[in-house]
Structure 1
Amino acid sequence: MAIFVSKYDHCLYDLLGRYKSGELNAQIPLIVSNHKVLKPIAESFDIPFYHIPVIKGREAEAEATHLELLKEKEIDVVALARYMQIIPENFIKAFPNHIINIHHSFLPAFAGAKPYHSAYKRGVKIIGATCHYVTEELDAGPIIEQDITRISHSHSIKDLILKGRDLEKIVFARGIKLHLDRKTLVYNNKTIIFV
């Protein structure tokens, strides 16, 4: 399993902790990022870190590098641990139903980049996190796992983000574990879970 990250570290730390404790049925030979900021975390877990910037107008170069590296390392599944980039079509086609994302809302509500801000503005009473397979349609792939937590008018956006990050870690780990343990089957953009 490859882990792709950007700058947020909470899901990365959680996955690596579970990996080191033997909770995940996988090997993690690399961590890929479009930023260098999380390299020390990879080093602390003795996992090779690859900085591959995604430069506007040159996204195809990054994609080619990603695919070559994943092939070389014999990667079966890609975990997007808050990797804040759009995954290109050819990348998705190379790993159908094997790219797993954590989205920081209870999809299909509040898709996109700032769901906690949108939830706050809307005045919702629950927020959630969704682990899903990546498809060409942004934040619309087959859902593997979801969970929610209650909020109130007294919570700030910062509170929503902090509560949400706890949920993201748990939901992402559950979804990845279900996939790794071969307990998922995708059919018509729905995920059947075998428990």
Structure 2
Amino acid sequence: MTEHSADLASTVPPPATSIALRDIPVPDYCDVVIVPTRGVAETDPRVWAEAIFSHENTPLSRRGLRALRDEAVRLFDMVPPPAKEYVTDEVRGSEALIADDDENLRIRIGVALLPGGELLQVTTAVKFLSVRGRLAFAPRRLLHAAAVNTLARRAPATVRRRAIRSGEIPRRGLAGQAARRTIGRVRGAVSR
């Protein structure tokens, strides 16, 4: 081993793993999304998992489409399905696991805070248990990684909003925000 390859080996982090792959070691579908935490100092992976899949984190367009679907279902005197709540089933180290199984699919979602706390990794593993499961997941397969990426990128704002509501972070006034933005612009202009 040369000196250069030894230096390179010491700087490369070990490959990322996930407890989502513990129950489904060879998934039929798998994706990994890694996004920045944008300076949010939350270290509990359960908080991140619940923020990613919470109703308030869902984009307004998707909430609107769901409301239209529910109203269309009510027109035919049918009861719309309840909104799915994802609950963390297990926390191991810096990763939370969500299990969502039915008779056709086994789904595991691991939400991990990577070392350093600046990156969030969401790993999804899906095992088809029947042809019906394969058919049910086929349309979701096309957009799943993009949808999870959107939800994960929105999660830091949701975590921050929840911390402000609970009083963990003091609420900042609009005047203070405007002053900080102005100061930032002045500093940026001076440093150029």
Q: Same fold by TM (over 0.5)?
A: no
Relative contact order (alpha carbons < 8 A, sep ≥ 6): 1 or 2 greater?
2
Greater helix share, 1 or 2?
2
| Rg (Cα) greater in structure | 2
- Per the shorter chain, which TM-score range? under 0.3
Question: Normalized against structure 1, the TM-score is what?
Answer: 0.22
Question: Normalized against structure 2, the TM-score is what?
Answer: 0.22
